[in-house]
Amino acid sequence: MKTITIIGAGMMGSALAFPARENGNEVRIVGTPLDRDIIEHCRRTNRHPKFQKEFPAGITYYHTEELEAAICGVDFIICGVSSFGVDWFRDEILPRLNDHVPVISVTKGLMDLEDGSLITYPDIWQQKLDELGKQIPLNAIGGPCTSYELVAHDQTQVTYCGKDMQVLRMIKAAMETDYYHISLSSDVVGVESAVALKNGYALGVALTIGLNQQEFGLDSELHFNSQAAIFGQSLREMSKLLKLQGAEDLDNLVVGIGDLYVTVYGGRTRLIGILLGRGLDIDAAKAELQGITLESLVVAERVAKAIRIKAARGLADLKEFPLMMHIDEIITQHKAVEIPWETFTYEA
Name 185's bridge partners: 161
d(CA 263, CA 238): 15
Residue 291: its pLDDT value, please?
Answer: 64
d(CA 82, CA 34): 12
The 3-state DSSP class for residue 51 equals: coil
User: What stretches of 39-84 adopt beta strand conformation (E)?
Assistant: 60-62, 76-79
For the packed helices 188-216 and 322-332, what is the interaxial angle rounded to 10 degrees?
70
Residue 290: its pLDDT value, please?
Answer: 80
3-state secondary structure 184-201: EECCHHHHHHHHHHHHHH
d(CA 198, CA 182): 20
d(CA 219, CA 309): 42
d(CA 89, CA 67): 12
CATH topology of domain 195-344: N-(1-d-carboxylethyl)-l-norvaline Dehydrogenase; domain 2 (1.10.1040)
- Annotate 85-135 with DSSP letters as a single string: GHHHIIIIIGGGSPTT--EEE----EEE-TTS-EEEHHHHHHHHHHHHT--
CATH homologous superfamily for the domain 3-186: NAD(P)-binding Rossmann-like Domain (3.40.50.720)
Q: What is the pLDDT along the chain (348 residues), one digit of tens a residue?
A: 999 999 999 999 999 999 999 999 999 999 999 999 999 999 999 999 999 999 999 999 999 999 999 999 999 999 999 888 999 999 999 999 999 999 999 999 999 999 999 999 999 999 999 999 999 999 999 999 999 999 999 999 999 999 999 999 999 999 999 999 999 999 999 999 999 999 899 999 999 999 999 999 988 888 899 999 999 999 999 999 999 999 988 788 999 999 999 999 877 889 999 999 999 999 999 898 886 767 889 999 999 999 999 999 999 999 999 999 999 999 999 999 999 999 999 998
Sequence length of the chain is 348
Residue 294: its pLDDT value, please?
Answer: 79
d(CA 127, CA 90): 9
Number of Cβ within 10 Å of residue 272's Cβ equals: 26
Residue 12: its pLDDT value, please?
Answer: 95
Indicate the pairing of strand 118-120 with strand 76-79. Answer: unpaired
Sign of CA dihedral 338, 257, 51, 103: negative
For the packed helices 188-216 and 253-266, what is the interaxial angle rounded to 10 degrees?
30
| C-alpha closest to that of 6 among 39, 40, 50 | 39
Domain residue ranges of the chain, discontinuous segments joined by +: 3-186, 195-344
